[in-house]
Amino acid sequence: MATTFTTGQVAKICQVAPRTVSKWFDSGRLKGYRLPGSQDRRIPRAYLLKFLKEHGFPIPAELQEQEVTDGEEAAT
């Protein structure tokens, strides 16, 4: 699973338009960073999971599986 996501990928996960994700990002509701030298945005996986949980979006199975794996790695 990816560790960072584009606005297009986040839009598919949230089932919204990419422009909506850009607005969330620009308003500070969704944390992330811009790529140096471009206007492209990237959203780290941890920030995406936090955003999904805080705003009541369902967590896709592939993100949940990774979340469990992360917890197991931290415990070892």
**Domains defined along the chain, listed by start:** 4-75 (1.10.10)
Q: What is the pTM of this model?
A: 0.80
Distance of CA 66 to the CA centre of its chain: 13
3-state secondary structure of 69: helix
Q: Which of 39, 15, 41, 38 is nearest to 29 (CA)?
A: 41
**For residue 20, pLDDT beyond 60:** yes
Average pLDDT on 40-56 reads 95
**For residue 76, pLDDT beyond 50:** no
